[in-house]
Structure 1
Amino acid sequence: MEAKLAEFESLNQKDKGPAYSSLISQILAQGDGNAVARDLKTLVDTVVNKESVGLVVGRQVLAELVKILSEGAIKDSDLKKRVVEETLETVQPRIVSYEEQVNSLRFQLADLLEEEEDWSGAARVLTGISLDSGQRSFSDADKLKIYVRIVRLLLEEEDSVQAETYYKRAALLMHSASDKETLLQFKLCQARISDYSRKFLEAAGRYHELSYVGEIDEEERRHMLLAAVTCGVLAPAGPNRSRVLASLYRDERSAELPTYNILSKMFLDHILRSAEVKEFESTLKPHQLARIALSSNDKLASIGHDDGPSASNEPAASTRTGPATVLDRAVMEHNLLASSKIYNNISFRGLGALLDLAPGAAETMARKMIEQGRLKGHIDQVEKLIWFEVNGDEDDAQGKAGGLGDVEEAEDTGSPFTKRWDAQIRVTAAHTESIVQQLSQKGLLSLISPTSA
């Protein structure tokens, strides 16, 4: 190899390019991978760093090597990766002169690393590409594709902080989006960024929207629906979450999901038990189990508002001063909201026993939810009671969001307890009628003999 390179140095500039380029195919024809890598590195070092070769010849030879590599001349991915990395290392000191070829090599290396599931390595290679200067000017559409790909890779590595930086850059270029695949990838990144940022309400809506896109594979759409349900469950309790849960509950595909049980219980305002929460917890990702740091004010309030020793008919007080994780908070807030549909009022100690919180911590959680408009009620700190207010508007909004349309209002009797009792009778009658219809369709009613007089 050294002899041929020395021989080519005496050629004129016009003939040097084809001569050096012809060596590439000869080197690749060798059976020994180590020899191929070594000789290609020697060739690249010669054409790039020797002043006698010249910049024009160097670009010509390097462009030919990039083209041959992109065409799959080297089948062994490990060997190809080694060749690309060594070529980039050799060209690095003179990267300004060979920027276009270096960018092409970086794309190839990113593809190889992505195949190996080295997400952070692939993202790091792509971030090294100069998009705003150099010999090749990238269009806004090309920049958008690169940024979206970097975001996707960083999210696979669960590096949401750096991913959000490139997501913001991509968002500025969305006006240039013409490729539907890139647009869908951006929307998916948008949903995942909201998920990682604990904006679960936004994430649930975006995941659910994507689960209807026909261009996405059916299994992927199911995965997005599952992610939508998970984020909906983790979202802060309140009217907005009720609307999202209603939309998911009415989706007929949700019944096939493993998380349908907890979705239905949350939508129907049933209190969640610890065994159900544990089962759901096993399906969560690490960032969805992030621990919550309580503020010093909350800690003081949780400790300072205890209502003394318990009476003989009241449960023992818990010592927990607040939720430990995102899931803990979501479940406690849901159970608090569900208890408002069951009780007219509840003591701090009783609510604490229900939520497994200290009485002061339970009062603090209720206070915050009332302040934020997510719970209707008021607090009597003298009697240490939380009074709940019946709010029919929220139930109507929840039903309409689920696709029920307008619901006929019952005559206002002026008695909330009577209306609640009437509603329970209507629901029971509807369930009974549904059971009878199902029995009739299956021909089971004819098997029941009439009772003799």
Structure 2
Amino acid sequence: MSSTVLNELTSQLQQISSQPNAARSAAYARLLTELLTKDISQLDGPALQQACSVYLQHAVFSEQNSTGGGLIVGRNALTAFEQHIARIARNAAAAKASEQNESMQDIDAEKAGKSALCDPDVCRQVLEDALDQVQARVLSFEEQASNLRLQLAGLLESEEEWNEAARVLLAIPLDSGHRTVSDHFKLSIYVRIVRLLLEADDPVQADLYLKRASMVIRNVPGALPSSAQRTAEAEAEAEAEANASSSLEAASESSASASLEDAKVLGLQFRLSQARIYDSQRRFAEAAVRYHELSFMSEIDEDDRSMMLSAAVTASILSPAGPQRARTLATLMRDERTQSLPQYTILSKVFLDHIIRPDEIAAFEKLLSPHQVAKLAPSNDPVIRMQTSASDSASGVRHAPLTVLDRAMIEHNVLSASRLYDNITLDGLGALVNLSAEGAEATARRMIMQGRLKAWIDQVGDASESGVDSRSGVDSATASRGMLFFLDQGRRAENEITAGGLSASAKAEAAFDGDDASAMNAPTSGQGDLDAKWTRRWDEQISRLTDALEDVCQHLNKKGLSSSAVAAGV
């Protein structure tokens, strides 16, 4: 039966070829409609593929219809071909969606009245065959080939073949001199490629095409929030001009315009892709800002906005400890929506510069994506590499962070230590962050060099020397092992005491001691006085605790215990 259909199709195509140009286009369209709507029982998948190939050879790529004045006929025939396939694919998808809500029917009943093109595999093969044939004359049928690639990419995307879909879209010429391609169309293709590559876990290639999209996005009215309102009138005028264009141009661009998304949607997709790329590249500070901005967009579903907010919190916690992260954390803490997130507990502790314990880190690790707990490359620090040995590994001594999460938490704990201590030995710092003294030194040194930690490291001296360091009052034997001295971290300044990030001047202390509120140069009643009072009490408590700790250390030193034993005991 299939051979009979093919013979009849060939005969009809030969008859149409003898007609004039004006009549051939309509005749090809009628024949194509009859061919593609045949039931699967009359024309199965393989037969339909052969029939489509024969149709394209005669109606599109023949010498008569691909050169000279007949080129218009060939273009119209190929446009009708891709439009028919697109319409059948849409109807099949709608039918499949409706059948999911109904009870299972007999297989023969399901196949009745359906074209073989409803099968995704058959449709994919037909599109691939058509693209193989058009490749030889792609300059003559560039727009039609692009529309066929868009359809094939959509089919592959629905089957979650992300790399193949991106590869198909990459073959669409966007800078060709044979036709004019709008910036809107370029942006839609670039953003779609970026999203597909991100789904395929290829952020490097995705970043490349995101940069290309960033070069045209400002030329698309309404794509960026800053230009959405300013270009509203220009967008309306552009739409009016498009409606006033000739009917021939409208017919040739109908498929491409139908596939374009709204400029604002493209802008949101661009910004989301940008945040995901920053996240995958471990640029967590930038990713947190982008995610948080997206969490306020009303165009995004409520569930997706919650996911954006959660991603913003996670990225901010993983970002490098320092002033930039502090600003981001403060913004997130002011957002009332974060209180409902599972990361809120660790978010609040990080914001308040609390030491994060191992059990809290383990609980937070369960909420992270694989790339956020990826292992880091071995350290290139020469001191650490010299200290690393098999015995150290066997004893569980670490000289550097092992994962992205590990590095973020170690840096945070170092910064938290600067809020608690004036100085600390490198051994003690290593014990605090679960690193060797060399690893703790390398971490502190890197943070100092990057301007994220205000401190200085003292390693001057020799273990054979004795006495007291004139600068710090620390025994030289202890100083020779390395000391980290913290400078002003917003906790201590001249004539100022602080606690928990809240400051109270010496004038305030004198005012409370002398019951003279005027010395504070502040309101004498209300919330301000209450905050200053509780701040002073908290500072006094910390001062007493620090004095007691110093007494214990001096007592242990008198007993002859080494500083390493003290650090190990801590």
Provide the secondary structure at the position in 2 that maps to 1:320: coil
Q: How does 1:154-165 map to 2 (within 5 A)?
A: 154-165=197-208
2:451 aligned to which of 356, 369, 373? 373
CA deviation after TM superposition for structure 1 residue 409, in Å: 4.5
Q: Contact 1:303/1:360 (CA < 8 Å) preserved in 2?
A: no
Provide the secondary structure at the position in 1 that maps to 2:371: helix
Separation in 1 of the partners of 2:537 and 2:509? 18
Provide the secondary structure at the position in 2 that maps to 1:387: strand
Provide the secondary structure at the position in 1 that maps to 2:176: coil
Mark the runs of 5 or more structure 1 residues left unpaired by the alignment: 307-315, 396-403, 430-453
Q: How does 1:46-445 map to 2 (within 5 A)?
A: 46-54=58-66, 55-72=71-88, 75=92, 76=118, 78=120, 79-133=122-176, 135-178=178-221, 179-296=263-380, 298=381, 300-302=382-384, 319-381=397-459, 382=461, 383=479, 384-392=482-490, 409-412=504-507, 423=535, 425=537
CA deviation after TM superposition for structure 1 residue 360, in Å: 0.8
CA deviation after TM superposition for structure 1 residue 274, in Å: 2.0
In the alignment, structure 1 residue 23 sits paired with structure 2 residue 16: no
Structure 1 12/212 Cα, relative in aligned 2: closer, same or farther at 3 Å? Answer: closer
Specify the alignment match of 2:527 in structure 1.
none
Structure 1 182/238 Cα, relative in aligned 2: closer, same or farther at 3 Å? Answer: same
If the length of structure 2 is used for normalisation, what is the TM-score? 0.65
Q: Contact 2:509/2:536 (CA < 8 Å) preserved in 1?
A: no
What are the superposed Cα offsets for residues 320-378 of structure 1, whole Å, 9 maximum, x if unpaired? 22112211110110111112222332222222122221211111111221222212222
CA deviation after TM superposition for structure 1 residue 288, in Å: 2.1
Structure 1 279/42 Cα, relative in aligned 2: closer, same or farther at 3 Å? Answer: farther
CA deviation after TM superposition for structure 1 residue 101, in Å: 0.7
Specify the alignment match of 1:439 in structure 2.
none
Kindly provide the amino acid, as one letter, of the partner of residue 130 in structure 1.
P
Specify the alignment match of 2:561 in structure 1.
none
Kindly provide the amino acid, as one letter, of the partner of residue 39 in structure 2.
G
Separation in 2 of the partners of 1:29 and 1:112? 20
Q: Contact 2:419/2:491 (CA < 8 Å) preserved in 1?
A: no
Q: Contact 1:188/1:207 (CA < 8 Å) preserved in 2?
A: yes
Separation in 1 of the partners of 2:20 and 2:266? 47
Provide the secondary structure at the position in 2 that maps to 1:346: strand
**Structure 1 stretch displaced more, 31-40 or 163-172:** 31-40
Provide the secondary structure at the position in 2 that maps to 1:72: helix
Structure 1 53/367 Cα, relative in aligned 2: closer, same or farther at 3 Å? Answer: closer
Separation in 2 of the partners of 1:324 and 1:200? 18
Kindly provide the amino acid, as one letter, of the partner of residue 57 in structure 1.
V
Separation in 2 of the partners of 1:394 and 1:206? 33
Separation in 1 of the partners of 2:310 and 2:492? 25
Separation in 2 of the partners of 1:134 and 1:259? 52
Structure 1 288/408 Cα, relative in aligned 2: closer, same or farther at 3 Å? Answer: closer
**Structure 1 stretch displaced more, 371-380 or 332-341:** 371-380
Specify the alignment match of 1:2 in structure 2.
10
If the length of structure 1 is used for normalisation, what is the TM-score? 0.81
Larger Rg: 2
Q: Name the % identity.
A: 44
Q: Contact 1:318/1:356 (CA < 8 Å) preserved in 2?
A: no
Structure 1 149/88 Cα, relative in aligned 2: closer, same or farther at 3 Å? Answer: same
What are the superposed Cα offsets for residues 202-244 of structure 1, whole Å, 9 maximum, x if unpaired? 1111111111122211111111111111110111111211111
Mark the runs of 5 or more structure 2 residues left unpaired by the alignment: 1-8, 93-117, 222-262, 389-393, 462-478, 494-500, 514-530, 542-570
Provide the secondary structure at the position in 1 that maps to 2:506: coil
Provide the secondary structure at the position in 1 that maps to 2:129: helix
Structure 1 289/408 Cα, relative in aligned 2: closer, same or farther at 3 Å? Answer: closer
Specify the alignment match of 2:57 in structure 1.
45
Separation in 2 of the partners of 1:149 and 1:173? 14
Structure 1 428/256 Cα, relative in aligned 2: closer, same or farther at 3 Å? Answer: farther
What are the superposed Cα offsets for residues 18-54 of structure 1, whole Å, 9 maximum, x if unpaired? 3332221111232224133321122112223322444
Provide the secondary structure at the position in 1 that maps to 2:279: helix
Provide the secondary structure at the position in 2 that maps to 1:220: helix
Structure 1 303/353 Cα, relative in aligned 2: closer, same or farther at 3 Å? Answer: farther
Structure 1 340/15 Cα, relative in aligned 2: closer, same or farther at 3 Å? Answer: same
Kindly provide the amino acid, as one letter, of the partner of residue 184 in structure 2.
A
Q: How does 1:442-453 map to 2 (within 5 A)?
A: none
Q: Contact 1:120/1:157 (CA < 8 Å) preserved in 2?
A: yes
Q: Contact 1:317/1:353 (CA < 8 Å) preserved in 2?
A: no
Kindly provide the amino acid, as one letter, of the partner of residue 38 in structure 1.
Q
Specify the alignment match of 1:434 in structure 2.
none
Structure 1 226/423 Cα, relative in aligned 2: closer, same or farther at 3 Å? Answer: same
Kindly provide the amino acid, as one letter, of the partner of residue 208 in structure 2.
T
**Structure 1 stretch displaced more, 12-21 or 276-285:** 12-21
Aligned residues: 406
Structure 1 126/303 Cα, relative in aligned 2: closer, same or farther at 3 Å? Answer: closer
Separation in 2 of the partners of 1:88 and 1:213? 40
Kindly provide the amino acid, as one letter, of the partner of residue 114 in structure 1.
E
Provide the secondary structure at the position in 1 that maps to 2:191: helix
What are the superposed Cα offsets for residues 168-207 of structure 1, whole Å, 9 maximum, x if unpaired? 1111112212222222222222222222222111111111
Separation in 2 of the partners of 1:168 and 1:29? 43
Kindly provide the amino acid, as one letter, of the partner of residue 383 in structure 2.
A
Provide the secondary structure at the position in 2 that maps to 1:248: helix
CA deviation after TM superposition for structure 1 residue 140, in Å: 1.6
Kindly provide the amino acid, as one letter, of the partner of residue 537 in structure 2.
I
Higher RCO (C-alpha under 8 Å, 6+ residues apart) = 1
